[in-house]
Structure 1
């Protein structure tokens, strides 16, 4: 499977710079399908950028190495990040795998993260279930710069009030798609 970008589009009301709160160490939960047997893994699988596991037979490292419970084929997934100062150079774990989502560009699909899948196909995630239990999102007020550090989605939406700006803030209609790059 090729390298895929997790693209996001949402309605951001008076907020910008949406990103997982744990920064570099933010993990995501994704449903995966094995490309060999087309069986969908029964549970969402944790893809953690701080986890680096050796692949069998010395074929390198990945953030997720797993055997399909059905066909026993070894599959892997690795976050892809740009090296500091490198134009197109990609390398595992050099900097944060996350890109902040900008309110001014939310009418377009924006890349949240990029992952190289080997033997796996990711299924479309939902905002409520993308981060592990207890993990939150962070965003900032567009006018005031107020930091909202504990953003948790309920039924795909989040709403709050920005005291400094005197405005309601919120995020709704969050859509995801995996796109080949």
Structure 2
């Protein structure tokens, strides 16, 4: 078992918080088998509220389960419970781990942010739901505070976490 953190970095304009903290957010990942090194070409979605492949090894199932096409090894990933955190205005421009994955036999290599983000504008402004960050930039207008809000230069990476 290896714990891997998904880190993001973005420049925030008039944004107080960016989050995926709801259990129905789908993390889209490209994965690599740690046994044979086979890297997937397609995106796999992983959602905290969904459980799959319940068996005798894990009666609760996993958030994601796959069998490697090359070596046939069975691999799984779970989102570490309560590891989702908010990216705030104080974090703007810096990498911050927003969620942790418990990986067994597979490691995430790429992340695609897509839709489902929740953005809260600064100074008790508007809340924007189901925001799409697939273009790495997002701009909207906060009618409550009469200012533009935006997320720019979105980046992500993965880091191995200490136990």
TM-score, L = length of structure 2: 0.88
User: What is residue 168 of structure 1 aligned with on the other side?
Assistant: 148
Unaligned runs of 5+ in 1: 83-96
- Structure 1 residue 149, shift from structure 2 partner: 1.4
> Of residues 101, 105, 113 in structure 2, which corresponds to 1:130?
113
**Per-residue CA distance 1:114-149 (angstroms, 9 max, x = gap):** 101111121132xxx334xxx321111112331111
Number of residue equivalences:
159
- Structure 1 residue 153, shift from structure 2 partner: 2.8
**Do residues 117 (structure 1) and 103 (structure 2) align?**
yes
User: What is residue 16 of structure 2 aligned with on the other side?
Assistant: 16
User: What is residue 93 of structure 1 aligned with on the other side?
Assistant: none
Higher share in helix: 1
> What SS class does the counterpart of residue 39 from structure 1 fall into?
coil
> What SS class does the counterpart of residue 23 from structure 2 fall into?
helix
> What SS class does the counterpart of residue 124 from structure 1 fall into?
strand
User: What is residue 141 of structure 1 aligned with on the other side?
Assistant: 121
**Do residues 62 (structure 1) and 27 (structure 2) align?**
no
TM-score, L = length of structure 1: 0.80
**Per-residue CA distance 1:1-55 (angstroms, 9 max, x = gap):** 510111111101001221138x121121100011111111231111121222346
Cα contact 1:34–1:120 (8 A) shared by 2: yes
Higher share in strand: 2
User: What is residue 5 of structure 2 aligned with on the other side?
Assistant: 5
Between the aligned partners of 1:136 and 1:50, the Cα distance in structure 2 is 14
